[in-house]
């Protein structure tokens, strides 16, 4: 079993229940696990998953369809890990999110571990076991099949990957590569167009590679480890062959996958990886982006889990939004490290779409409380999902990616 | 281990609470087969505990009443569970009895708060953090801040487990703040206690009226006598002025005398004490150059008025000097950092236990009257030093030592708390066995000094109950027999509800 690798983690979890419904005003959390808040039994919480893993190792519980159904309800939002960080809220109180990120890095060489229980990795290992045993839910099997055949999870031909760029005269070689990602290439082309216009206007020379494959993140989140490795190897070889020096992506999940997962499977990457929000913040502060048109709207920002909690990028998207003339950025509560997940991640939108929508809908009151008319995010998958959530709830709140808002304000 | 409850019973339960709220599959059964590890690293390894047969999520006292009637008819054990943060197996079924768990976390509403009543009426499944959040909106506090950062714990569990709390030195334990209860008795009757026993009283909350104080028998009973479905809790205004202060003392005797006087005068909200001689060598090396071989008392003090607060701090300083105390300049530092020892985030549970204290860190937390404290700590240290090798889950933050012992924690009335962490390495069965034996030996040594065992009231209560006077046990058994003749209510807690062996 792949969970054997996490035996120490599984035993180290004390099952204290912090990851199950905790509210702490001092830590900024208002409840933690989005799936538990919907399903309300322990087997849908991170603690429940860790206990299941314990008994799977111990032998009292066997892998089954029921086990698979439970572990595939997790959005892998990592909220459980965030609240589990040792003394994390106290550290955050003393020095904010920055200190919380920095301190473990300082302490680690001194032999002190301030890491949380790796609950997401445990779930992903359980999912990998489910894949090995043929227990993965059918919609996710289908998704993996599509990636194997077409190198994208949307069932569309690989040849269509750069259809959005037809006639736009984008080079295929440059030091900087825009890694578009499947969700943007096949589903949210408006983000691709916005990104393209911004970069061109800012004078950035960049390429888009037609032979880019799925980044593998969705596969790793869902336990398809071997297939993910194939995707990652292809992409890394391609980027090395093209002698790429900098990779930029507008996809939060892709950014996490490339930054965190790729080096684990393919070794150190010979190029720098940036999320578009980082590049935009840099371009704005360097005066390379000029705004011509104010956007007179109240905007609230949804932190994508894979960009925020997983990659500690909280400030840059906010810097970008605040720099746009006319935008009144209002924070939701909870936010940043304690932000609620949209519900789509970890394959939940594919395996259990109703649950995904319920989780997303649970965030609507927090959004409405801000009085915002626009919900901004920095992840194509969050955008798609919130559009579906708003449509089901018949809400008029507009959902936009930060690149769209920037492009609009630049007048490009 | 197969579930033993029949399909008819499951159907009966589904009719009461709805099919969505009844689960009897293997996944749910094993998921509810463990609580917090920290106090009982035995139970996943032992033959004592097992999974429940059914897990139910009730939403009202009426539903629970019907469930208990059904359980009585079929003689099925019933265990009410809150956040599952108990450390003594209190809400885990015994393997030999099995039973159904009532997961109370959907009964989590604030039912009534009336300004001026200084009381809030809530359901037991509310978690500590949520209660603080709701009360803060009203500008009040529950005083007690919960079990040292375990904000996922519920108040119902705290009541059943006699929860000690951050701020207990000032506000008392959780159960000292309970005014009324609504309880579903094992036969399904729903009763209300104190002022609410009077049919003419709807929203006035007082405990000591209308006859004997029947609240007490349900507090700390871990559901052995019924299921608490509502309760009223005292509330307090939030003090406007608060500081964290610290003093060092030449010896433990002076430190303890100061702590006693401080508490006697009502100046302390919460206090942690450190006795130099109990510290691991690695910490001694850090502390000695800074303050010498002195003992430390770090505490929070609060007031509602600026002038009173100023005078209070002056009085504290005079009091400390009387016992050779030297002030440590923590006041400005903690204020600048925005933290205090009375923050809810004091501990924050989570990885703090597992990762900082060492894998499977197990505490032997118990309580005693302050003068006993040195004696108890001395014994615990002797045991731990004698067999240090058994405790191989090291504590990286403070060096190479394999254990940690918090010297003292004050409760109201001179109650001290000894908190010995014994992290065990489960990867090596022999070492684990050694650590388990050490754990038992430490707890036994606590008990022999007359300690009341705060964390030993669940199904690990054998350490405590074997020291009970026979008449006391008979009295508890008589209550149990009267209220719960079929022994369906959480059999095993306090050694009650099991047939004589």
- We report the CATH number of the domain holding residue A195 as 3.40.50.1860
DSSP A151: S
| Among the four given CATH numbers 3.40.50, 3.30.450, 3.30.70, 3.90.75, the one describing domain B351-448 | 3.30.70
Q: Which residue has the tokens 């009897």?
A: B24
Domain boundary among A132, A161, A192: A132
What are B167-217's pLDDT values in tens digits?
A: 888 998 899 999 999 999 999 999 999 999 999 998 899 999 989 999 999
Q: Contact, A369 vs A376, CB < 8 A?
A: no
Q: Is A275 helix (H, G, I), strand (E, B) or coil?
A: strand
* pLDDT at res. B409: 56
SS3 content of chain A, % helix, strand, coil (to 5): 55, 10, 40
d(CA B137, CA B117): 16
Same structural domain for residues A346 and A385?
yes
* pLDDT at res. A263: 97
Helix (H) or strand (E) holding B334: helix B330-337
Residue A139 falls inside a structural domain: no
Of B103, B150, B351, the CB nearest to A85: B351
* pLDDT at res. B495: 86
Instruction: Give the B window 404-433 contacts with A, CB below 8 Å.
Output: 426-427
Same structural domain for residues A236 and A127?
no
Quick one: CA torsion of A274, A280, A285, A288, rounded to 10 degrees? 110
Residue A338 falls inside a structural domain: yes
Q: A4, A7, A17: which to substitute to probe chain B, counting the most B Cβ within 10 Å?
A: A17
Q: Which residues touch A293 (CB under 8 Å, ≥6 apart)?
A: A325, A408, A409, A410, A411
Asked if omega into A334 is within 30° of 0 (cis), the reply is yes
Q: Do A87 and B83 touch (CB under 8 A)?
A: no
Q: Which long-range contacts (CB under 8 A, 24 or more apart) does B443-448 make?
A: B443/B364, B443/B366, B445/B376, B445/B379, B445/B380, B445/B383, B446/B364, B446/B366, B446/B368, B446/B376, B446/B379, B446/B380, B446/B418, B447/B366
Same structural domain for residues A280 and A157?
yes
Q: Do A22 and B397 touch (CB under 8 A)?
A: no
3-state secondary structure B42-98: CCCCCCCECCCCEEECCCCHHHHHHHHHHHHHHCCCEEEECCCCCCCCCCCCECCCC
Residue A144 falls inside a structural domain: no
How many CA atoms lie less than 13 Å away from B425 in the CB half-sphere? Answer: 13
What are A315-338's pLDDT values in tens digits?
A: 999 999 999 999 999 999 999 999
- Concatenating the DSSP letter of every residue in A20-82 gives TT-EETTTTEE---HHHHHH-SGGGSHHHHHHHHHHHHHTSS---HHHHHHHTT-----HHHH
Domain boundary among A252, A284, A316: A284
Residue A249 falls inside a structural domain: yes
**How many domains are contained in chain A?**
3
d(CA B86, CA B36): 6
- Asked if the model's pLDDT at residue B275 lies above 90, the reply is no
Tell me the average pLDDT across B446-468. 76
Same structural domain for residues A267 and A339?
no
Residue A140 falls inside a structural domain: no
Q: Do B355 and A24 touch (CB under 8 A)?
A: no
Instruction: Give the A window 40-59 contacts with B, CB below 8 Å.
Output: 40-43, 47-48, 51-52, 54-55, 58
Q: Do B396 and A112 touch (CB under 8 A)?
A: yes
Q: Tell me: domain B241-346, CATH 3.40.50.1400, correct?
A: no
- Concatenating the DSSP letter of every residue in A287-320 gives T-----S----EEEE---TTTTTTT---HHHHHH
Same structural domain for residues A99 and A61?
yes
Q: Contact, B182 vs B62, CB < 8 A?
A: no
d(CA B414, CA B417): 10
- Asked if the model's pLDDT at residue B421 lies above 90, the reply is no
Q: Do B36 and A14 touch (CB under 8 A)?
A: yes
* pLDDT at res. B408: 57
What are B297-350's pLDDT values in tens digits?
A: 999 999 999 999 999 999 999 999 999 999 998 888 777 777 777 766 655 567
| B311: closest CA of chain A, how far (Å) | 29
Q: Which residues touch A341 (CB under 8 Å, ≥6 apart)?
A: A34, A75, A77, A79, A305, A359
Residue A64 falls inside a structural domain: yes
* pLDDT at res. A118: 94
- Copy the structure tokens of residue A165: 């760029």
d(CA A82, CA A68): 24
Q: Which residues touch A286 (CB under 8 Å, ≥6 apart)?
A: none
Residue B245 sits at φ, ψ, to 5 deg, of -120, 160
Q: Contact, B308 vs B211, CB < 8 A?
A: no
Tell me the average pLDDT across B367-373. 72
Measured between CB atoms, does B37 come within 8 Å of chain A?
Answer: yes
CB pairs < 8 Å spanning A and B: 186
Q: Do A64 and B359 touch (CB under 8 A)?
A: no
Under the banding of pLDDT at 50, 70 and 90, the label for residue B395 is low
Measured between CB atoms, does B401 come within 8 Å of chain A?
Answer: no
Q: Do A87 and B356 touch (CB under 8 A)?
A: yes
| Among the four given CATH numbers 3.90.1150.50, 1.20.1290.10, 3.40.50.300, 3.30.43.10, the one describing domain B7-105 | 3.30.43.10
d(CA A343, CA B267): 48
Closest-approach residue (CA) in chain A for B426: A11
Q: Do B354 and A15 touch (CB under 8 A)?
A: no
Which sequence spans correspond to the domains of chain B?
7-105, 106-237, 241-346, 351-448
Q: In what order do the strands lie in the sheet with A298-301?
A: A328-329, A298-301, A374-377, A398-401
d(CA A241, CA B140): 64
Same structural domain for residues A241 and A344?
no
Q: Do A117 and B350 touch (CB under 8 A)?
A: yes
The more confidently predicted of residues B418 and B44 is: B418
Task: Write the CA distances from B358 to A402, B393, B394, B395, integer angstroms.
Answer: 43, 5, 5, 5
Measured between CB atoms, does B27 come within 8 Å of chain A?
Answer: yes
Helix (H) or strand (E) holding B110: strand B110-113
Partner residues linked to A329 by β-bridges? A299
Question: Residue B124: which region, alpha, beta or left (left: phi > 0; alpha: psi -120 to 50)?
Answer: alpha
Same structural domain for residues A250 and A351?
no
Of A8, A64, A114, the CB nearest to B359: A8
Domain extent for A64: 2-132
Same structural domain for residues A361 and A276?
no
d(CA A253, CA B16): 44
Q: Contact, B229 vs B64, CB < 8 A?
A: yes
- Copy the structure tokens of residue A155: 């069932």
Residue A195 falls inside a structural domain: yes
- Copy the structure tokens of residue B227: 């299921």
d(CA A65, CA A139): 14
Q: Do A114 and B356 touch (CB under 8 A)?
A: yes
Q: Which residue has the tokens 């006391």?
A: B472
Quick one: CA torsion of A219, A221, A222, A228, rounded to 10 degrees? 20
Q: Contact, A399 vs A391, CB < 8 A?
A: no
* pLDDT at res. B501: 45
Of B36, B338, B355, the CB nearest to A115: B355
Low-confidence ranges of chain A (pLDDT < 50): none
d(CA A113, CA A107): 7
d(CA A59, CA A62): 7
Q: Contact, A122 vs A12, CB < 8 A?
A: no
Asked, colleague to colleague, whether B241-346 and B351-448 share their fold, the answer is yes
Q: Do A23 and B105 touch (CB under 8 A)?
A: no
Q: In what order do the strands lie in the sheet with B54-56?
A: B22-23, B54-56, B100-103, B78-81
- B106-237 sits in which CATH class? alpha beta
- Copy the structure tokens of residue B495: 């050694």
Of B32, B133, B349, the CB nearest to A23: B133
What sign does the CA torsion over B55, B57, B60, B62 have? negative
- Picking from B423, B433, B420, B417, the residue whose alpha carbon sits closest to that of residue B400 is B423
The complex scores an ipTM of 0.93
d(CA A217, CA A251): 11
Measured between CB atoms, does B460 come within 8 Å of chain A?
Answer: no
CB atoms within 10 A of CB B410: 26
Domain boundary among A85, A103, A132: A132
- Asked if the model's pLDDT at residue B397 lies above 70, the reply is no
d(CA B58, CA B66): 10
d(CA B196, CA B208): 11
Measured between CB atoms, does A66 come within 8 Å of chain B?
Answer: yes
Measured between CB atoms, does B362 come within 8 Å of chain A?
Answer: no
Rg (alpha carbons) of chain B, rounded to whole number: 23
Q: Do A23 and B359 touch (CB under 8 A)?
A: no
What are B28-86's pLDDT values in tens digits?
A: 999 999 887 654 455 555 678 889 999 999 999 999 999 999 999 999 999 999 999 88
Q: Do A93 and B338 touch (CB under 8 A)?
A: yes
């Amino acid at each position: 079993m792949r969970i054997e690798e996490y035996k120490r983690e599984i035993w180290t979890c004390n099952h204290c229940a912090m990851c199950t419904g905790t509210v702490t005003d001092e830590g900024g959390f208002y409840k933690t696990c989005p799936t538990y808040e919907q399903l309300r039994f322990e087997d849908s919480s991170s603690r429940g998953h860790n206990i299941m893993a314990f008994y799977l190792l111990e032998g009292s519980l066997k892998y089954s369809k029921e086990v698979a159904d439970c572990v595939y309800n997790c959005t892998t939002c990592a909220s459980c890990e965030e609240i589990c960080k040792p003394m994390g809220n106290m550290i955050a109180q003393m020095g904010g999110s920055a200190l919380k990120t920095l301190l473990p890095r300082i302490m680690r060489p001194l032999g002190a571990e301030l890491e949380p229980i790796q609950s997401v990795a445990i779930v992903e290992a359980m999912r990998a076991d489910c894949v090995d045993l043929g227990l993965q839910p059918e919609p996710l099997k289908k998704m993996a099949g599509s990636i194997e055949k077409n190198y994208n999870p949307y069932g569309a031909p690989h040849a269509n990957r750069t259809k959005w760029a037809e006639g736009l005269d984008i080079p295929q070689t440059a030091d900087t590569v825009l890694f578009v990602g499947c969700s943007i290439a096949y589903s949210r082309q408006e983000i691709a167009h916005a990104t393209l216009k911004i970069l061109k206007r800012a004078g950035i020379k960049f390429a888009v590679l037609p032979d880019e494959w799925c980044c593998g993140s969705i596969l790793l989140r869902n336990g398809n480890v071997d297939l993910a490795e194939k995707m990652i190897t292809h992409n890394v070889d391609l980027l090395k062959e093209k002698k790429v020096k900098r990779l930029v992506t507008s996809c939060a999940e892709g950014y996490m996958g490339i930054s965190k997962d790729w080096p684990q499977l393919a070794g150190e990457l010979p190029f720098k990886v940036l999320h578009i929000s980082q590049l935009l913040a840099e371009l704005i502060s360097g005066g390379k982006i000029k705004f011509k048109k104010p956007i007179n709207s109240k905007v609230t920002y949804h932190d994508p889990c894979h960009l925020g909690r997983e990659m500690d990028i909280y400030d840059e998207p906010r810097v970008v939004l605040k720099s746009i003339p006319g935008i009144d950025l209002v924070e939701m509560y909870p936010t940043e490290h304690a932000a609620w997940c949209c519900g789509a991640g970890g394959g939940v939108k594919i395996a259990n779409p109703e649950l995904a929508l319920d989780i997303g809908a649970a965030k609507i009151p927090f959004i409405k409380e801000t009085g915002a008319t626009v919900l901004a995010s920095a992840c194509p998958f969050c955008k798609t999902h919130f559009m579906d959530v708003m449509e089901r709830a018949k809400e008029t709140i507009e959902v936009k990616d930060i690149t769209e808002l920037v492009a609009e304000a630049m007048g490009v | 281990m197969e579930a033993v409850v029949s399909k008819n019973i499951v159907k009966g339960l589904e009719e009461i609470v709805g099919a969505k709220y009844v689960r009897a599959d293997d996944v749910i059964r094993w998921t509810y087969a463990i609580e917090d590890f920290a106090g009982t690293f035995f139970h996943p390894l032992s033959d004592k505990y097992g999974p429940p047969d059914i897990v139910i999520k009730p939403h009202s006292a009426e539903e629970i009443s019907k469930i208990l009637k059904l359980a009585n008819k079929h003689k099925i054990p019933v265990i009410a569970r809150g956040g599952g943060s108990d450390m003594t197996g209190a809400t885990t079924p015994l393997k030999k009895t099995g039973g159904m768990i009532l997961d109370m976390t959907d009964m989590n509403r604030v039912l009534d708060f009336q300004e001026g009543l200084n009381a809030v009426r809530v359901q037991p499944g509310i978690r500590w953090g949520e209660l603080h959040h709701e009360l803060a909106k009203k500008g009040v506090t529950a005083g007690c801040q919960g079990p040292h950062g375990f904000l996922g714990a519920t108040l119902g569990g705290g009541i059943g487990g006699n929860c000690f709390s951050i701020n207990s030195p000032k506000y008392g334990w959780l159960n000292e703040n309970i005014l009324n209860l609504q309880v579903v008795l094992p036969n399904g009757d729903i009763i209300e206690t104190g002022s609410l026993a009077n049919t003419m009283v709807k929203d006035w909350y007082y405990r000591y009226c209308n006859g004997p104080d029947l609240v007490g028998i349900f507090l700390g009973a871990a559901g052995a006598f019924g299921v608490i479905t509502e309760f009223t809790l005292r509330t307090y205004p939030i003090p406007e002025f608060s500081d964290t202060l610290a003093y060092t003392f030449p010896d433990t005797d002076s430190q303890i005398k100061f702590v006693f006087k401080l508490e006697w005068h009502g100046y302390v909200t919460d206090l942690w004490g450190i006795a130099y001689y109990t510290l691991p060598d690695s910490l001694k090396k850090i502390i000695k150059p800074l303050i010498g071989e002195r003992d430390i008392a770090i505490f929070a003090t609060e007031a509602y008025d600026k002038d009173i607060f100023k005078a209070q701090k002056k009085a504290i300083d005079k009091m400390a000097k009387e016992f050779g105390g030297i002030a440590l300049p923590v006041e400005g530092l903690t204020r600048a950092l925005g933290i205090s020892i009375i923050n809810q985030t004091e501990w924050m549970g989570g990885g703090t236990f597992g990762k900082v204290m060492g894998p499977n860190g197990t505490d032997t937390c118990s309580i005693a009257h302050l003068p006993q404290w040195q004696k108890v700590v001395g014994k615990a240290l002797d045991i731990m030093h004698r067999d240090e090798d058994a405790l191989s889950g090291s504590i990286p933050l403070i060096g190479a030592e394999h254990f940690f012992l918090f010297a003292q924690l004050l409760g109201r009335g001179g109650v001290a708390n000894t908190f010995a962490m014994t992290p065990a390495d489960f990867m090596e069965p022999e070492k684990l066995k050694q650590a388990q034996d050490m754990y038992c030996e430490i707890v036994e040594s606590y008990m022999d000094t007359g300690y009341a065992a705060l964390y030993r009231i669940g199904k690990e209560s054998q350490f405590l109950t074997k020291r009970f006077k026979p008449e006391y046990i008979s009295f508890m058994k008589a209550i149990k027999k009267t209220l719960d003749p079929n022994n369906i209510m959480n059999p095993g807690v306090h050694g009650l509800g099991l047939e004589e062996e």
